Each structure stands twice: as structure tokens, then as C-alpha cells.
Structure 1
Amino acid sequence: MKMIGIKFLSILALLLLFIFIFPITKLYFTDVKVTKAIFSELYFIERGPNESTKDLIRDYMEGEGWKEIDRLGGLQTFEKNGEKKNVLSSQIKIIFDEGKLKL
């Protein structure tokens, strides 16, 4: 019984690690600049020189079919089919900044 519990916890730990690592590896190994975390409203960014975080989010959201309707301080508001979605600066995590890992 104890061995089954250990195997279950090991599988669960690997699954959670995959969920959190996958978006970061997607940034590193592809040309994607923004990716959304799985099961979360966090956005991970790879920002290059002279790139604005807010512009990268806007471009990502437009690629997902959303249109930016407002930008105020650390808040960006998007709309799609009458539904509004807010993205706060606290939901944005810069992982790579000008090619350097920033954790």
C-alpha cells in the first residue's frame, strides 16, 4: 500500500512539474514571445531589446482573437464577442529578458 502511495505522489509531482515547466520550455525552444500557463491566468514572456511587455501581450491577445480596448497603468482590457478580459501586470512574468534567464 505504501509503495502505491509513493508511486502516485511521484507521478503527481512529475505532472505538476510538467505543467509549470512546459510554458517556459516553449518560450526557449520556439519563436513564441508569449505563452499562457496551463490552468492559470499567468502569461510568460520572452522580451527582446526595445520590446514592450504590454505590446507583446497585446499582440498575443490579438492573435487569440481579442481586441485591446483600454490600457491604464498596469491593466490592459481586451474584448472578444462582447466578453471583456483584463490582464494585470501582476499576471505577467518575464522569463527571458534580452536572451537572459530572469527568474
Structure 2
Amino acid sequence: MTLHTPGPWIIDSRTSPKARVSDVIPITDIVGKWFCITVFATEQISPEEHRANCRLVAAAPDLLGALEVAVTSMLDSGYKKNSASVLKARAAIALAREGF
């Protein structure tokens, strides 16, 4: 299994030289290495929705880490391993770590 680029991830203000500024939002790691470029498809979503999607992508490492901590805390505080909340959280973690 390949690991993801460690967070934090940042929505970068730079743009790809091959696309118009309004079409591309780069996501970088903390040292500025580009690893994800989102391309805006004007017919499908609005620019605001595109930016919101990029914010969600950039927050992914923090969200994954928080969910992993939450599952541990839930189990430590008495949640059962097969409770709906723990199972749903673990499914989301597996999706992020292993894919579909």
C-alpha cells in the first residue's frame, strides 16, 4: 500500500502554466511541492463549489488524523468495536488508507 503525502496540505496560490488561473487550484505539501492539481470544469460545478472541494481535499490529512484519534478515544471511553459510530469511522479510515 502506498502512503499519501504527509500533511498539512495547502491550497497554493500559484497556478499551472498550462491552464488559465481560474481553471486550476494546486494543492501542495508544506514545503510547496505540488502533488494535486484540481481542474475546474465550468459546465459541471460553480467556481465556489470548486474552491470548497479544494478546501476539503486540502483538509484531508487533518481530517483523517482527527478521525483516527476519535476512534481511539471512543474505544477508550467504552464504545463497542461493533457500534455504528465506530464501524462508520473505521470504514472512512479504510477508504482513505486503502481506497475503494
Which interval holds the TM-score relative to the shorter structure? Answer: 0.3 to 0.5
TM-score for both structures, normalised by structure 2: 0.33
TM-score for both structures, normalised by structure 1: 0.32
Where is the helix percentage greater, Structure 1 or Structure 2? 2
